[in-house]
Structure 1
Amino acid sequence: MGAAFFYHLTRHPVEVTLRTLLEKSRQQGWRVAVRGRTDEALDRLDAQLWLGPEDGFLPHGRAGGPHDADQPILLTTGAAAPNRPDCVISVEGAGVAAPEVTALSRVMILFDGHDEAAKQTAREQWRSLTDAGVEAKYWSEESGRWEMKAQSGG
């Protein structure tokens, strides 16, 4: 059974945290779907992933191509990911449902701590998932390093 990890971004932009989490996910051997709400945000993330260091290349693609099922990392606005992910990373407040979390190895929800609407969306997602019995962990980088600040049992 999977868990939802909430990442409250206050020091690093989503691009930096996303790259780190994608690298760690790939080290686990996980296939990942990065789910956003808008093509514009995913275009920006896609461009940033291509700019990474040479030794840190993260093979990925945008949904809608002929090889979506083969992508180890697929950036998508859709709920269904043809790459059969082990992990979903939600950005921009993209929705995740409790049954999805429990079926995956992990769901990560990244939200901008400087954006009130993003914080409110994350609070609603936390309530929805924990009310459904999903295990959830809340991580904050406010102190300068990632610390778990809250946990809800599953």
Structure 2
Amino acid sequence: MTELLFYHLETRPLDSVLPALLEKSLERGWRAVVEVGSSERLEVLDAALWTYTDDSFLPHAVATGDEADAIQPVLLTGGGENANGASIRFFVDRATPRQLEGYERFVYIFNGHDPDAVSEARQVWRDLGPVYDLTYWQQDAEGRWSKRG
């Protein structure tokens, strides 16, 4: 059964959490797609992945719809495509899971300080619970992840 992991952001922002999760995905040999809820945030995440540490970066690109998308280890998009043949798909900044086939894992990351995002996450949990193996992770006060469900 395909896994769907929920990450509830409390203390650290998406820009610092997402790079670590993407690095772990690449270490497993997986390609990743990151679906973003808005074009503005797509640009911000693109820049953040190039500069999140002084000594490294995550190889990635913003989806353009051309053949170069297919070779990207991490592809950022505002749409539902899987042009790089990713094994894992991240939904961030209130992107709504739509296309849920052909992946080993899904990760739904939401801001715990945004009541609308929390409400949407609860609805996704209810809608997809019968279909996927769900796991819920929440940040503690130090920013570490605790499995809560």
User: TM-score by structure 2 length?
Assistant: 0.92
Q: Which residue does 1:135 correspond to in 2?
A: 133
Unaligned runs of 5+ in 1: none
Task: Give the drift of 1:54.
Answer: 4.8
Q: Which residue does 1:77 correspond to in 2?
A: 78
Q: Secondary structure at the match of 1:56?
A: coil
What CA distance in whole angstroms lies between the structure 2 residues aligned with 1:108 and 1:3? 8
State the 4+ residue runs in structure 1 displaced beyond 3 angstroms.
Answer: none
Q: Is the CA contact 2:80–2:98 (under 8 Å) kept in the aligned structure 1? A: no
**Where in structure 2 are the equivalents of 1:24-39 lying within 5 Å?**
24-39=24-39
Q: Secondary structure at the match of 1:34?
A: strand
Q: Which residue does 1:44 correspond to in 2?
A: 44
Q: Is the CA contact 1:7–1:138 (under 8 Å) kept in the aligned structure 2? A: yes
Q: Count matched residues.
A: 147
What CA distance in whole angstroms lies between the structure 1 residues aligned with 2:52 and 2:115? 29
Q: Is the CA contact 1:97–1:129 (under 8 Å) kept in the aligned structure 2? A: no
One-letter amino acid of the counterpart of residue 37, structure 2: R
User: TM-score by structure 1 length?
Assistant: 0.89
Q: Is the CA contact 2:10–2:113 (under 8 Å) kept in the aligned structure 1? A: yes
Task: Give the drift of 1:56.
Answer: 2.7
Q: Is the CA contact 2:89–2:106 (under 8 Å) kept in the aligned structure 1? A: yes
What CA distance in whole angstroms lies between the structure 2 residues aligned with 1:136 and 1:116? 21
Task: Give the drift of 1:142.
Answer: 2.6
- Identity %, equivalent residues: 39
Q: Secondary structure at the match of 1:94?
A: coil
**Where in structure 2 are the equivalents of 1:1-154 lying within 5 Å?**
1-64=1-64, 66=66, 67-97=68-98, 99-100=100-101, 103-131=102-130, 133-144=131-142, 145-150=144-149
Q: Is the CA contact 2:2–2:133 (under 8 Å) kept in the aligned structure 1? A: yes
What CA distance in whole angstroms lies between the structure 2 residues aligned with 1:71 and 1:62? 9
Unaligned runs of 5+ in 2: none
One-letter amino acid of the counterpart of residue 58, structure 2: L
